[in-house]
Structure 1
Amino acid sequence: MRFEQLEQFVALGNLRHFRQAAEQTNISTSALTRSIQTLEDEIGCELVKRSTRSVRLTEQGELFLTYCKATLNELENAKKNIKQSLFGNDQDKLVIGYTQQMSSVVPVVCGQFLAHHPSVKVEMQMLDEADLMNKLQLGEIDISVCMHSSELASSDIYIPDQLIMFVAKNHPILHKDSVTRQDLIHYPMFGCLSQSRQVQHMVNETADSFNKATSMRVGNINEVLDNIKNSDLFAIAGIEHSKLVAQDPDVVLIKTNKDLPTEQVLVRTNHTLSEDVNIKELVNLIEKFEQKHSISA
């Protein structure tokens, strides 16, 4: 049993949603499912009751959730005590991590904060979202700030604006008036490799949201176009390939409900320090800045 498994179970226990818990702990939904199953095997009892629409902890699961939280709190306290014994008390320093999307927000808010608290040291780190979550869980940053998409209905198909979806012109899915997530279950997926790390990450996340992370075939754009024709595959590719796809008479772009989700600023704090007065004030400033400037996608 590893500490990261306890963190994953706490995320699931707090959110009661596999995909959201997987996103929070920076793993795939299938990996989170395996992690929970491993915990249940080690403990020897069922911790989670699963259904198509909800996640519920068993009585034993609720007890184990309490244990996990207490254990992780003790771990963070031990880290903090060891750090203080080695480097001294650094309570007047705040470390805030943020994604590039928040680069117009965090420095401004930190400047406002420092104007009123010149004795507090603030360190700012621009990170990608994966590193942001990892550092927050490890206690290396006090506050994380990123953009977060709202939840979609279970039948909705959504892919980021940086991606496109397409099929062969004779694909059976094109006979439907509208395409739902349920429709995609019946067809295998092909993911197009991208030179952009961010776009490739989006392709992988989309595959995971369709429950095809382990079965998805991958290739470059030419391989995708060659393999998708006269097949029942559907494909996801980066927007950089949209012109090439649009020019191919044997494939058809599928329109999705891209405009459904909205994005909002998501601010998280290190749970062992969430009651710190300075952290609470800095978080409040970020939230007020968001409301004043209407930050949205």
Structure 2
Amino acid sequence: MRFEQLEQFVALGNLRHFRQAAEQTQISTSALTRSIQTLEDEIGCELVKRSTRSVKLTEQGELFLKYCKTTLSELELTKKTIKQSLFGRDNQKLIIGYTNQASSIVPVSCGQFLAQYPNVKIEMQLQDELELTRKLQLGEIDISVYLQSANSIVSDIHLPDQLVLFVSRSHPLANQDSIRKAELTQYPMYGCFSQSKQVQSMLNEAVESLNKSTGVKIGSIEQVIAGLKTSNSFAIASIEHSKSIAQDPNLVLLKTNKALDREQLIVQTNHQIGTNDHINHLLELIEDAASSKSKQTITY
């Protein structure tokens, strides 16, 4: 009795059709018929009731079907255990979820980690906090990372780290230490288009949060810069343009996230992944990255 015979019988038991079961197991119908007959000869009883229209399992066939499924399931588990013992857990896949606010921490930490553990596969998922909590509880992600305001203190203007606000140097807000949302309401706004769908989505959400979804002017970075120099507008753009902005003596980046140092980075792990050296090392890298950005880190 061979494992492939058990797989063929399971296919027949599930589909109750010789031709379909043969196609699924990639053998001919006649070969499948001979395989089932061989099983019946070895077991010493009839497993299948054949007719021109249907295939039915006998009582003994139903019992044997359960045995086949259990045996094949045990086989897969054993193969997985053997593979882990041969190659180590550093071949596992980790799924890490994080919010926009933690996007300056997680990708950098994962990059540093993969340089030391190239055999580990990491999938990163950008989600909101509620979705992270749901996925962690269901075991769909292994590690979640998000920012939480300490003592319920929330920044008035809170942009993802991938976005920046800027104005012309002659703008009334150019020299302020920190900008609040109410101060922006009186000024028109430019938005710099991004080729990245993810960043563009962040831009759209930020424009909405600033109550500027109507009347905002969209253009390339060159068009936006030109518009700022001839108006009292302010602009939002992807951080990829920050170098161009910083190099232009007529432009100034606005300071909007003054309260970020009062936020906590929350790192939670799925208890099913357990703990080992490389997972602990990844968590340490995340904590180090958070510390370098003056964010307090709490790990559960």
Task: Report if TM-score (shorter chain) is over 0.5.
Answer: no
Q: What's the TM-score once normalised by structure 2's chain length?
A: 0.44
Q: What's the TM-score once normalised by structure 1's chain length?
A: 0.44
Larger Rg: 2
